[in-house]
Structure 1
């Protein structure tokens, strides 16, 4: 049983294997997405040096780090703005244009962060500049991720949507692996004083260059067949696409926001924040923390592909249910081992990364929740608003809870969001059983 994009028969791609053109589209979209995602997430890997450099020296370490997490969270708060605007034009004028614009808007501020003066140079202007550039990054990523999922899903043949979206998601998460490897290399080869002096700038400067490479790569992509047929048939949304989303697809919005909460918690807590958390809360050495993170990020990429394959065989609802339950189990196993001394940290973190690959099910569910004329706007609104609410609060909340509410607090938070996904998957199964929706 497979997942299909709910559209009219005239707009549905025939069921076939992925061809050479499909694979080229996947590779170009994934590589460009990986470079852009690297630009967005590398910020948190260097949260500790940024907290020292962009705030007064007499600021308490926990408060400085909390302030950096606040600036990190600002990028999430800005996502709905970029997502809604880009999605509007993506539904009206084409997916490809916005797909290219988003990566360009990411490259510029990333490069600029690498050139910023620090607090000792310009005082309070330093954190304000960092905040402004982070907001621009948020605007860019707000259009990138939903646009990437829509772009790839509408290129994929029916019956291969789950795998195609998962490959794209795996490509996006490869940006996390690149960022993790970069952080691991810098922390291993440079002394802490060197990292503070200039080493922290290197990943941002590289990210700016990577971003412009991604802009060039996306010149070779073509418009999606689904949008091309919509335009040819003059079936594009004549009204404001977002108005149609809110007026007639509230259920799809609610479902998409629910599963996005699990996605934000899994990625933010278990992949992006954990290297810093295990150093501060469990005394894990920086080299070991970032090595484990690199292994987990690799496992995440493999896990995404595995869960995408599973979606096309057993359906998105079952894949989400199984993955969410397994994720709860391994998260508690990982944190329990850390509390006991971390003897099995590396293999458990690798398994955790693989099961975080459950997030690859999320785009297939969201693609199926909205019809083609308003798909970009529907996904972008639900995903970015949810990410703004949950992503912005998660970074600061986990940073606070780790200091004040016990070392297992992050695991409890991830478990709560996974339970929400379990409920969403059970609702999908009940809906499919009752009405045959979302199934071939």
Structure 2
């Protein structure tokens, strides 16, 4: 439940010009950092060809490449918990800036590192190490950003604030998609393999360092500043308090994070490759429109969460996600001309990611909020997000519609969570945020 310090610190705080500036810089930095993390998946094919032995079977190369992608997710819990620990004790802003620095440097290094032809097996090992650093960084960035923005707004704006930040983070995927489309249409396959694949990583690293500079203009959240002034910070290890006193909130937050992973990893990141491999469809442009749909959907779901409650919102978006993606995956093989509109609708349904942080961040009191959210989100993402590409790729050999089945199941979980929230005070107004 809410701490009295938090209520006092935040009561009747308006969303003024300074807060808008903070939220804008937070979303921009988050977009750049998310771009750095996911650009890998858009160039997974060429990276697999360059960083593994040429005689390796293609199916094994793909699994190995997605395994390196998964390494970033597996590193998220440790990095996230460490940064969240200090975020709850030393301040949100310090960790918020550190996370994007730790993302930018490995991204730059990936852009300049030698490949298998030069380093042999050391090349994929080095790539794994850099992905681990990126994972540790994003493990602190995403929950840190959610906490940062929600502690700058009043309770009845939390949903829209989370939706806005989610839209900003998803914009990083959009930037990555546009960069991928530009590189692949500008350069030949030979040029791409020779040097052009490095360009997105170099650009991402440079702009990430720019975001580090921009975050110098951020200020500490009023909630944390008030707790610090009143000496109301955690008196023990925050993660210890979370696991002892807030286990139901951990389970709930992990559940909604599982839904988020299915929406982002399968529908947005993997689907273009899946459609190209199975049906020979080029979904790169449709993917761009779908991501725009996610941005709009995130804003819409966040707005609805403020007005209708988190329960009804996640239930509706869960149904929409399950149905829209199933229809798309079962239709485009016979009606490829429907790909773009169906993908846009699925993208709008992926806007469920706008309400997910609203539910998770409201589940923890301010004193352990960063740690509670970071632990739940990162552990769940490491398990579900990290292994999803491998599991989906393997099980598609058993049933070609497995991605649609998987997404539909997680949409159903959204309905279950929505019903649960509607039956409790959680779905209406959790009393853990500012009045």
| Normalised TM-score (structure 1) | 0.95
Q: Given the alignment of the two structures, is residue 80 of structure 1 paired with residue 48 of structure 2, yes or no?
A: no
- Summarize the alignment of residues 314-329 of structure 1 with structure 2, pairs less than 5 Å apart: 314-329=308-323
Q: Given the alignment of the two structures, is residue 169 of structure 1 paired with residue 162 of structure 2, yes or no?
A: no
Output one character per residue of 1:88-129: Cα deviation in whole Å (capped at 9) or x when no partner.
000000000000000000000000001111111111111111
Measured at CA, do residues 97 and 433 of structure 1 come closer, stay the same or move farther in structure 2, by a change above 3 Å?
closer
Q: Given the alignment of the two structures, is residue 70 of structure 1 paired with residue 63 of structure 2, yes or no?
A: no
Measured at CA, do residues 343 and 99 of structure 1 come closer, stay the same or move farther in structure 2, by a change above 3 Å?
same
- Summarize the alignment of residues 278-427 of structure 1 with structure 2, pairs less than 5 Å apart: 278-285=275-282, 289-402=283-396, 404-427=397-420
The counterpart of 2:112, out of the listed 106, 110, 115, is 115
Q: CA deviation at 1:405?
A: 2.0
Contact 2:103/2:133 (<8 A) preserved: yes
| Counterpart in the other structure of 2:246 | 249
Q: CA deviation at 1:189?
A: 1.4
3-state SS of paired residue (1:339):
coil
Which stretches in structure 2 are left out of the alignment for 5+ residues? none
Greater displacement, 111-120 / 415-424: 415-424
Q: CA deviation at 1:407?
A: 2.3
Q: Given the alignment of the two structures, is residue 276 of structure 1 paired with residue 269 of structure 2, yes or no?
A: no
Query: 2: distance between equivalents of 1:304 and 1:342?
Result: 27
| Counterpart in the other structure of 1:99 | 96
Which stretches in structure 1 are left out of the alignment for 5+ residues? none
Q: CA deviation at 1:11?
A: 3.5
- Summarize the alignment of residues 5-154 of structure 1 with structure 2, pairs less than 5 Å apart: 6-8=2-4, 10-11=7-8, 13-15=10-12, 18-154=15-151
Query: 1: distance between equivalents of 2:340 and 2:363?
Result: 37
Contact 2:311/2:428 (<8 A) preserved: no
Q: CA deviation at 1:435?
A: 10
Q: CA deviation at 1:341?
A: 4.3
Contact 2:75/2:136 (<8 A) preserved: yes
Output one character per residue of 1:356-403: Cα deviation in whole Å (capped at 9) or x when no partner.
01111011111110000000000000000000000111021112223x
Measured at CA, do residues 282 and 438 of structure 1 come closer, stay the same or move farther in structure 2, by a change above 3 Å?
farther
Contact 1:15/1:159 (<8 A) preserved: no
Measured at CA, do residues 231 and 267 of structure 1 come closer, stay the same or move farther in structure 2, by a change above 3 Å?
same
Contact 1:84/1:143 (<8 A) preserved: yes
Q: CA deviation at 1:338?
A: 2.1
Query: 2: distance between equivalents of 1:292 and 1:133?
Result: 31
3-state SS of paired residue (1:302):
helix
| Normalised TM-score (structure 2) | 0.96
Structure 1 runs, 4 residues or longer, greater than 4 Å off: 433-440
| Counterpart in the other structure of 1:428 | 421
Measured at CA, do residues 61 and 433 of structure 1 come closer, stay the same or move farther in structure 2, by a change above 3 Å?
closer
Greater displacement, 254-263 / 390-399: 390-399
Output one character per residue of 1:233-269: Cα deviation in whole Å (capped at 9) or x when no partner.
1110010000000000000000000010000010000
Query: 2: distance between equivalents of 1:12 and 1:416?
Result: 41
Contact 1:15/1:158 (<8 A) preserved: no
Query: 2: distance between equivalents of 1:126 and 1:112?
Result: 12
Query: 2: distance between equivalents of 1:362 and 1:436?
Result: 15
Q: CA deviation at 1:18?
A: 2.7
